[in-house]
Amino acid sequence: MTYLGTSIPEDPSDADLKAVCSDYAVMCTTVMRAIADRYDPAYPFVNTKLDLITGQDFDADDPVRGKQAVYGWIQGRALEALAGHARWLSSRGEDDLVERLRSITRDVLDQLRRMRDRNEGHLSFFMYPDGTPFQLDPSGRPVPTDTSQAFGFSDLFSSKGMFAAARYLGDDEAVLEACEYIDEVEEAIWDNTFQTDQISLDPKNPTEPRSGYHAHGPFMIQIGSAALLVQSRHPTGIERGIAIIEHELSSYVSLDGRVRGLEEGDFFEGVDTEGQPYRDDAGVLLSDPGHSLEFVGLAMKFIHAANESGDADEDQNERIDKIRKQLPIVLERNFNNGYIEGSGGISKAFDLVTRKHLNTDMPWWNLPETIRAAAYCLASADDETEKALCSRIFRDCHNAFLKFVRPDLHLMAYQTRDASGNPVSVIPATADADPGYHTGLSLIDTIEVLNTIHPE
């Protein structure tokens, strides 16, 4: 198959949406093949350390971009992506590539387990290849940091990635260990001891802890863990996932006029100690539209897994149905808040008070995440109006994403474009390129859910 860069017309049919799935399949396969080609057993990590603007590998001794900087976020995401792609590629008869990915999955999982053992049960945003964590001093140089830490996003991404990988490999011991890891992270999220470990690499995207600020992000990512548990028929997976999604919707979203002055479906990044929308000293009520849309996609993925399992009881099914009906409202509002017409993309930050963009940089990741959200909502749409809404959002995100994709660089995407549409050297979170997590896993889900929609 060949990548064609097919766009979606103004008034798309189901067939128009399904037609782009062949390009998605080529993207996913090509990126995984590049990851396999770049892999070196002497460096047991997924290596996406290349500049997506120049196409060149980063210098090996670069303290942020080089091989000595192992990102816990990336390796955890990579394990989930490797397992997900291998399962999907196996169904497509790509046996040689599947075997290569399986071997890489084994190596990376084993290495992360060793690193976690060394690091007192944790993984960190920045680590040396042996697992020793570090941070950056004010001049940007690596300095050692304490190994005693709270659970953070590296633990969150890695716990679910290790679970997905161990299940795929059929490693029962590693499955049990990863399941316990997921439980520990989830407990920290609920009891408010979870702390972000992200080290900001973009001055316009600060991540410093704030007193009295409780972010929705950990809950949102944990929905992905719940979906994996449900797929494995874990007895508590459905109830845990429903509880997280209900908490997100009741705490971080304005529904039924809950927050005066906000639009229906507005989604804010954090709440204060009283559970009210967190406004900073300047009165800004921050929304990251991409995070809001990622939430919709993960919630719909969970619902899809729960429905397929058949394990939900009557009460759980009623709660799932209520959630499902709310998600298109969140999808529409936050897409409208974040999408930048013309250049095509979704902004990084939006103020729900002034209704203006705070950061018009457009990262790549929120587009495939929104494509997945729109596809799931389309497949379960209640009426033609809702179906048209989902098709429009799918169309706009797909056509915008085409502007990020590099056919000359493994069909990977520029990490960031500015409001004028130009690729810029802005690091959304990590310098490493996406290892198939935001893009590949979202597009595989999209391919599979669109296959459930009957031809017109």
Residue 147 has pLDDT above 70, yes or no: no
Over range 404-428, report the average pLDDT.
96
Q: Whole-angstrom Cα distance, residue 428 to residue 415?
A: 7
Q: Please tell me the predicted confidence (pLDDT) of residue 360.
A: 97
Other Cβ atoms less than 10 A from the Cβ of 10: the count is: 8
Q: Whole-angstrom Cα distance, residue 313 to residue 127?
A: 43
Amino acid 72 reads G
Query: What are the structural domains of the chain?
Result: 1-38+212-456 (1.50.10.10), 44-199 (no CATH)
Phi-psi category of residue 213: left, alpha or beta, with phi > 0 → left and psi -120 to 50 → alpha: beta
Q: CB of 405 within 8 A of CB of 411?
A: yes
Structure confidence by residue, pLDDT tens digits, 149-163: 899 999 999 999 999
Over range 364-380, report the average pLDDT.
98
Structure confidence by residue, pLDDT tens digits, 27-82: 999 999 999 999 999 999 999 999 999 999 999 989 999 999 999 999 999 999 99
Contacts of 116 (CB under 8 A, 6+ apart): 122, 123, 131, 158, 181
* Three-state SS at 334: helix
pLDDT band at 365; cut points 50, 70, 90: very high
Q: Please tell me the predicted confidence (pLDDT) of residue 70.
A: 98
pTM, 2 dp = 0.97
Q: Please tell me the predicted confidence (pLDDT) of residue 298.
A: 98
| Alpha carbon distances (Å) from 181 to 88, 151, 453 | 26, 10, 37
Which DSSP symbol is given to 59?
P
Give me the percent of the chain exceeding a pLDDT of 70: 99
Contacts of 269 (CB under 8 A, 6+ apart): 215, 216, 217, 252, 278, 286, 287, 288, 291
Over range 185-201, report the average pLDDT.
95
Q: Please tell me the predicted confidence (pLDDT) of residue 124.
A: 96
Q: Whole-angstrom Cα distance, residue 264 to residue 244?
A: 20
Q: Please tell me the predicted confidence (pLDDT) of residue 140.
A: 85
Q: CB of 36 within 8 A of CB of 16?
A: no
Phi, psi of 293 (to 5 degrees): -75, -35
Over range 171-192, report the average pLDDT.
98
3-state helix, strand, coil in the chain (%, to 5): 50, 10, 40
Structure confidence by residue, pLDDT tens digits, 209-251: 788 899 999 999 999 999 999 999 999 999 999 999 999 999 9
Phi, psi of 16 (to 5 degrees): -65, -40
H helices of 39-130, where? 72-91, 95-118
pLDDT band at 208; cut points 50, 70, 90: confident
Over range 83-98, report the average pLDDT.
98
* Three-state SS at 95: helix
How confident is the prediction for the chain on average, in pLDDT? 96
